[in-house]
Amino acid sequence: MCGLICPTQQVHVVHSIRSVQSEMGLSRAVYQENFPFKSTLNQFLGAIAVNIITISHGAAIGWVSPFLPYLQSGESHLTSGSVSIEQASWIGSLLCIGGLIGAPVFGLLADRFGKKLGLQLIVIPHVAFWICILYGPNVYFIYLGRILAGSGGGGILRAIPLYIADIAHCKLRGMLGSVLVISLNVGILLGFVLGNSLSYFTVPIVMLVAPILFVVSTCFLPETPYCLLKQNRIEKAELSLMFYRGVDGHFQKTDDFRKEFEQLKKLSLVAKDPFEHKLNWRDFCTKQARKGLGIGIFLMVLNQFCGALAIITYSANIFSESGSDLSPNVSSIIVAIIQLTGTLVSFVLVDNLGRKILLLISTIGTTAGLFSMGIFSFLQHSGHDLSELGSLPILSLSFTILFSSFGILPLPYVILAEVLPQKVRNVGSTISILMISSSAFVVLKVFPIMIDRVHLYGAMWFHASICLISIFIILFAVPETKGKDLLTADEKPEFVERKEVCT
């Protein structure tokens, strides 16, 4: 997609400043000290402002579940007629095709013109999606809209982590980075609630408010210090860092602030050095690189083939198929609330329990939930009277989504940056992100067809089997990366000698 020298950094950028601290010999204790409340406030305001568009994108993801049954019904307004199962699978999966387009495009724009402008440009395809939904007369406009929404989503997942990495203090980086996932889940829940409460044509009008609010909010934020330094605008870069560190004037600058700014300047100089970015295939042939890339690809495939995204996307249809006591849309809202709860659990536990144990618990729980839902569906399809167990579908899927949301879904992005060697982290992240987008496309495209061909229980057992196999892979192949220094021991001698950092 970008060749071996990718112009924009991805998951590993979240940790780039920490890498510089390691290389320059700065004690971590310097960054453990208290910092002003205003600094915390400004960083959280920045994170919340840029993630307004993430909430809106989450609503675009959640839009499918409440309105797909309407589009498939005889009441559909589309001139092309009611949506078929094949067309429904395209509506769900084309979002991922858009993501493959949007990630490199908006990543390049953020690198070329600055992260602030790169983020603001995401509103263009996002607004276009809602306009396609509002005015599109046939299913092909919905296809186009989903591709556009996906391209905006790809830009969000590519550019916002970069922005957060640039503005975040090391003590807040994990929390601020989690705002993206939380915002996405809030948006999905919002899409379900609006879809249950408002008409097909009212929802796009309401959601067009979000991108406007996003642009207005981000206009009041300064460009990130790192971007300004890369543009040689040193004075403005310092003012930007002062804003995000709560420093009101030049006389309030601390030694910690000056050291951090100096390190950012060194990082920006290294980023301009093409020698430091040059890669060759031998860099991918080391044992550490091969293992890290293999783990990254495995986790990204598991992230999608656990079936959680398919369940969220087609939740109303699933509950309709399962004969739940509650209405399909209400059941979907409950599942979305459970997903948000799981994400908040991960937010609290990831740095306390560790990545591997959370991932194991998450995968085991997801496997159990999927198998139980499959058993219910099989018995129901076999003609057994399950009227007394009408609440089991919502309990099984809520259990599945809860467990997947605090491990399988959020942790691959964290672990990816920690298992890849520094020099290949950029390209390795690109390969892994391409894998997750491709896997998502396959799962979302095949899932409705699978339910039609092998029934709901077949689909549930297929994803449960993948999770079951993954438990043993995680147990024996995935290392614990909690507290790991991003520069491993075998990398440090080379870097210490040159006193530079590869980014």
* pLDDT at residue number 292: 83
What are the tens digits of pLDDT across the range 330-372? 888 888 898 888 888 877 776 677 788 889 999 999 999 999 9
377 vs 321: CA distance, rounded Å: 9
* pLDDT at residue number 273: 58
* pLDDT at residue number 83: 92
The string of DSSP letters for 163-178 reads: HHHHH--TTTHHHHHH
Q: With residue 125 as reference, give the H or E element that holds it.
A: helix 123-135
Token pair 């320059």 is found at 24
143 vs 129: CA distance, rounded Å: 10
What are the tens digits of pLDDT across the range 11-47? 333 333 334 333 333 333 334 445 577 788 888 999 9
Q: Give the number of residues written for the chain.
A: 503
* pLDDT at residue number 302: 93
Q: Which of 57, 54, 46, 55 is nearest to 218 (CA)?
A: 46
191 vs 204: CA distance, rounded Å: 10
Q: Which of 184, 205, 30, 89 is nearest to 448 (CA)?
A: 89
* pLDDT at residue number 278: 63
* pLDDT at residue number 21: 37
Helix axes 328-349, 64-72, angle to 10 degrees: 160
Token pair 């892994």 is found at 432
Q: Exposed, middle or buried, 465 (CB in 10 Å: 0-12/13-18/19+)?
A: middle
Give 153's contacts (C-beta < 8 A, 6+ positions apart): 57, 60, 61, 95, 98, 99, 102
Positions in the chain short of pLDDT 70: 1-35, 173-174, 251, 268, 270-280, 323-325, 350-351, 390, 417, 422-426, 429-430, 482-503
- Token pair listed for 195: 């879809």
103 vs 434: CA distance, rounded Å: 9
